[in-house]
């Protein structure tokens, strides 16, 4: 291996490691912004699958935390574009399809009716393909996000309470300690006034074991669950 090739490889591996390190620090939004800035430069230079799906992941998080609707739309749109590129680069890998589904699903949530229906259907297809490749990815993320999408879609468009509940339950079989799945399921149950099973989910979130990789979500969901349980009393 030549020195130039070795140097380029080390540089690429360093970017990937730094992107993961910055995403792990996501309670600090500036870290995710730094990650996106790093990968915008790297993505244009390398067009690598490993960079493209990580770029999409970081843009998803920025968009999720953004209160400005138009800016959130732009971030999710860019995130979907990078995920689509990841799919083209590695069509057999789950990551591209998953982050494509996530960004399109959130984009559908923030857009007008007609456009949102189109994005929701594209998200559903991407998540279905992710499930076919690895349903356990990202702690059963494809099933969790599909359930979230189904909870917002009418039955005629592939949604509805029963479908969403089944997706969440399937996700919890694969990843029983994921608080995001339990929170989504609790919200679904509360919308249907199914208070008893919703309480069970809230209590499970509060008693959930620690997980350093998911510390941000666990702490957020525990605080939310305590608040909701108090309001139910």
pLDDT of amino acid 182: 98
pLDDT of amino acid 76: 97
Mean pLDDT of 175-179: 98
- The mean pLDDT value of the chain amounts to 92
Structure tokens belonging to residue 167: 């997706």
What CATH number does domain 1-134 carry, 3.40.50.2300, 3.10.129.10, 1.20.1600.10, 1.25.40.10?
Answer: 1.25.40.10
Of 216, 225, 228, 218, the residue nearest 26 (C-alpha): 216
**Separation between Cα atoms, residue 144 and residue 62, nearest integer Å:** 20
pLDDT of amino acid 156: 83
124-152: pLDDT as tens digits: 999 999 999 999 999 999 999 999 999 99
Boundaries of every domain in the chain: 1-134, 135-233
pLDDT of amino acid 5: 33
pLDDT of amino acid 101: 98
Do the domains 135-233 and 1-134 match in fold?
yes
Per residue, the 3-state secondary structure of 112-144, as one string, reads CHHHHHHHHHHHHHHHHHHHHHHCCHHHHHHHH
- The gap between the terminal CA atoms of the chain, to the nearest Å, is 67
Mean pLDDT of 182-208: 98
- The CA-based angle 171-172-178, given to 5 degrees, is 100
Which residues, at least 6 apart from 116, have a Cβ–Cβ distance to it below 8 Å?
Answer: 107, 108, 109, 110
**Separation between Cα atoms, residue 44 and residue 30, nearest integer Å:** 22
Is 135-233 assigned to CATH 1.25.40?
Answer: yes
61-111: pLDDT as tens digits: 999 999 999 999 999 999 999 999 999 999 999 999 999 999 999 999 888
Using 50, 70 and 90 to split pLDDT, how confident is the model at 13?
confident
The pTM of this model reads 0.92
37-72: pLDDT as tens digits: 998 888 767 779 999 999 999 999 999 999 999 999
DSSP code, position 208: P
């Amino acid at each position: 291996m030549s020195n130039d090739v070795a140097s380029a490889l080390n540089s690429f591996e360093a970017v990937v490691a730094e992107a993961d390190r910055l995403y792990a620090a996501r309670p600090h939004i500036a870290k995710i912004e730094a990650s996106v800035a790093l990968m915008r430069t790297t993505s244009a230079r390398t067009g690598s699958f490993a960079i493209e799906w990580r770029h999409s992941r970081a843009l998803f998080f920025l968009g999720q935390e953004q209160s400005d609707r138009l800016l959130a739309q732009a971030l999710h749109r860019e995130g979907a574009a990078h995920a689509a590129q990841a799919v083209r680069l590695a069509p057999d890998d789950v990551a591209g399809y998953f982050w494509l589904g996530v960004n399109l699903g959130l984009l559908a949530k923030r857009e007008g009716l007609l456009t949102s229906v189109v994005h929701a259907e594209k998200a559903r297809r991407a998540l279905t393909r992710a499930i076919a490749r690895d349903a356990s990815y990202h702690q059963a993320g494809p099933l969790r996000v599909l359930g979230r999408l189904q909870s917002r879609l009418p039955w005629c468009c592939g949604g509805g309470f029963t479908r969403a509940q089944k997706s969440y339950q399937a996700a919890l079989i694969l990843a029983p300690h994921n608080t995001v799945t339990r929170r989504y399921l609790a919200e679904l149950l509360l919308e249907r006034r199914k208070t008893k099973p919703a309480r069970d989910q809230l209590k499970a979130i509060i008693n959930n074991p620690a997980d350093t990789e998911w510390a941000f979500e666990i702490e957020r969901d525990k605080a939310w669950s305590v608040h909701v349980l108090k309001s139910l009393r």
